[in-house]
Structure 1
């Protein structure tokens, strides 16, 4: 019998029972179909949702059949629903704001400026990379990568010598930019929501993130060809619709409210985000009444990528089932057996293979006793490590879809060495800053 984090009574350790290994087999099979979504043409949300919900259905049957005490089961479900709801509603608001900005032509305006800039390939490579690094901390890495990869394919449709390194640069920059902001990646959001660090603590990862990406970008830039893309002739000018700039301001205010709510008022980040959504809705009414502009906020809500939300629900539920079954209690022993730094570096490589969301969820649920510096390291490695393989992060998967047949697993792996160098440099910067110099806030 064992007691996991957040469980009030003792739960059966199923990791030593045949039924537990049956659950693990279901998880592995389900994750295979998630990873092989392109092969079977199945959106990864479907096997994720089935796997996560089915595993808990089986656990419920097991407890009922054996007449076990349901108290730990009920407690685990309640904690899991709370955890998922916080992430679910946070992403719901963030994605609504993004859709509203898209509807107001904010991103189309940015795209047009880059298309008409007259930049050569090397300048476009650096500009899109810098934009990815600094937009992803606010807009999240997946949205950022999708927007900028659309820019790439709009500017240049045929030159793979430019498109491949530029696409890789966007993926790496988006993931690195997301690693130092609680809003930039689901993994950092999870760590922040779990109380593994204050908002400002994640900002101390900025040096490791930007230097690591900068090294990778420098190496990739050597393979970017000379020359200019074809100019777009007679293109219609794109302007930001009325209210677009105000919505940008409301978005920034919403993020500030989420931070203040979490750090000062002890409200979950989703609370400040939902309050920010109410402000957006009220502004939409004002815009309609006084300026006769309808930003169609409910239409923006309907465009939210529900598959993304359901994927997170399914995968977090599946990892929660493994946690309840006792597997993560055994996995956490790795932190006792080895130096936590080495384990956290390994988490980065595992994130590239498995995807950083379930890996980070597993680490948080196993809840090892780590110093703040180590929690920051695992946040960095889980975020940045996902770039090592094309499908290791949501950003990579998204760009593979946008640049189908151009940015592929094979084309990515040709430059994986450059990403690995940047990953190693990020860890070295972390080590010098956190372990040697101690340049972070100690509580």
Structure 2
């Protein structure tokens, strides 16, 4: 089974991008050359240091950015030494930049809005409203998790995770027995909630736009997603203290949101709407709508400056506070996966879907584990590019597993990476893996519910 998973890993990551572009040339397979083995070795070592971030005290963006850039430099050097066409490398790099830019700028704008809302006192006010009601840590754990599950289908899993992890850290900054299970709960809920909405996750968005299911087909994943999440949440809740946060309503002053905070909140919601409409209706990248929303925020900030002075709200101050390491991590890791593809570590992605190898069901279940290792975006891209011959039931399975499977490891999804950046030093790879068994139980339940619904009962569309 281990060899099979390794085979699936190597073949799946290989399909991340389209080599050769429009040059009409085919990139040579250089997997069995010194540069092929060297880059594979560099990738494995780099991922080790990313996973061991807590052990070595090295930010995950450093190894990710290093391997992502260095691997392509080695490939270009190999092409130059052997007289191969450097136009192929150039075209692939350009294509990869386009792939990464969509995620990079989407994150950039989402984080800017989060920091702007923090500056405007929105989360301090939300914290006060939650804690002042006398809720225990356990009730707050459930409240943030349920909010994440039902918010992510609309706002997408990354933005949801960023918002609610910010709420989490404003409620409590030191008590890890609350913060770690709470962070995992938010990540699992956001990924599970995003799996049953066509625009709740980048992976479901990719499957929907590729025509693998209609808008309503994805809603049929809801039973699998919600039951899997609840299974994990119930287990993790046992580790959350049932005590109340230190709070004295007679001493605490009710935080006041800055003037214009409600408009900034409305602009944030409208920005998400613009991102969805840009991609689905206008066929522009989702980040186009996000950047349009950023332009509206900047225009509104200008009006606030005229009315209240330059110190009231400055968008660039919010930009200065965003987690740049998260952005650089995404750039580096997606560049590294793109390099593995271009080198030629590919060939068996479609073969494993054959009934005499693994078959579609076991292959798609394996995709969930790969999503945790490689990140669900490139893995889903790999499956879509391989385009195995599958029915609607199997395409919904791979959408489910790519979404919820990313929760198995802390950096397996955009939501997880975002929360790692927001709760730096608290929610880490190591702290996540202590509870990974609970997430695995939820994953197994999600797949089991899918099997009962789709394969036994045959319920998959109206």
**1:143 has 2:162 as partner:** yes
Query: 1:43-442 residue pairs with structure 2 within 5 A?
Result: 43-137=59-153, 138=155, 140=159, 142-144=161-163, 146-154=165-173, 157=174, 160=177, 165-181=181-197, 185=201, 187-188=203-204, 202=218, 204-222=220-238, 224=240, 226-233=242-249, 234-290=251-307, 294-336=312-354, 337-356=357-376, 359-360=379-380, 362-363=382-383, 368=388, 370-371=390-391, 373-390=393-410, 392-393=412-413, 415-434=435-454, 436-440=457-461
What's the CA shift string for 1:248-292, capped at 9, x where partnerless? Answer: 222222222222222222111111221222122222222333455
CA offsets 1:335-378 (integer angstroms, 9 cap, x no match): 33322221121122233345545544554565555555544433
| Preserved CA contact (<8 Å) 2:53 2:429 | no
Aligned length: 437
Where does the alignment leave 5 or more consecutive residues of structure 2 unmatched? Answer: 1-13
In structure 1, distance between residues paired with 2:302 and 2:152: 29
State the 1:295 CA deviation.
2.2
Call closer, same or farther: CA 1:220–1:314 in 2, change over 3 Å: closer
Does the residue aligned with 1:329 lie in a helix, a strand or coil?
coil
**Could you say if the C-alpha distance between residues 236 and 403 of structure 1 is closer, same or farther in structure 2, counting changes exceeding 3 Å?**
same
In the TM superposition, residue 194 of structure 1 has moved relative to its aligned partner by: 7.0
Structure 2 Cα separation of the partners of residues 95 and 203 of structure 1: 28
Q: Distance in 1 between matches of 2:235 and 2:244?
A: 20
Instruction: Give me the whole-angstrom Cα distance separating, in 1, the residues matched to 2:375 and 2:204.
Output: 14
> CA shift at 1:48, angstroms?
1.0
TM-score of the pair, normalised by structure 1: 0.84
Task: For residues 87-130 of structure 1, give each alpha carbon's deviation from its aligned partner in whole angstroms, at most 9, with x where no partner exists.
Answer: 21222222222222121111221111122110234422321221
Whether the 8 Å contact between 1:261 and 1:268 is mirrored in structure 2 is: yes
Q: Distance in 2 between matches of 1:201 and 1:254?
A: 26
Q: Answer 1 or 2: higher relative contact order, Cα 8 Å, separation at least 6.
A: 2
Label 1:128 to 1:229 Cα distance change in 2 as closer, same or farther (>3 A).
Answer: same
Superposition deviation, residue 39 in structure 1: 1.9
CA shift, 1:322, in A, is 0.9
Whole-Å Cα distance in 2 between the matches of residues 18 and 50 of structure 1?
A: 19
Give, in angstroms, the shift of residue 314 of structure 1.
Answer: 1.0
- Aligned-pair CA distance for 1:409: 6.3
Asked whether the 8 Å contact 2:54–2:430 carries over to 1, the reply is: no
Contact 1:215 1:422 in 2 (8 A): yes
Q: Distance in 2 between matches of 1:74 and 1:411?
A: 40
Q: TM-score with structure 2 length normalisation?
A: 0.81
Gap regions ≥5 residues in structure 1? none
Structure 2 counterpart SS, 1:322: helix
CA distance in 1, matches of 2:217, 2:321: 34
Which residue number in structure 1 is paired with residue 10 of structure 2? none
For the residues of structure 2 that align with 1:158 and 1:262, how far apart are their CA atoms? 40
Q: For 1:84 and 1:273, how far apart are their aligned partners in 2?
A: 15
Structure 2 CA distance, aligned partners of 1:73 and 1:230? 57
Deviation, structure 1 residue 410: 6.9
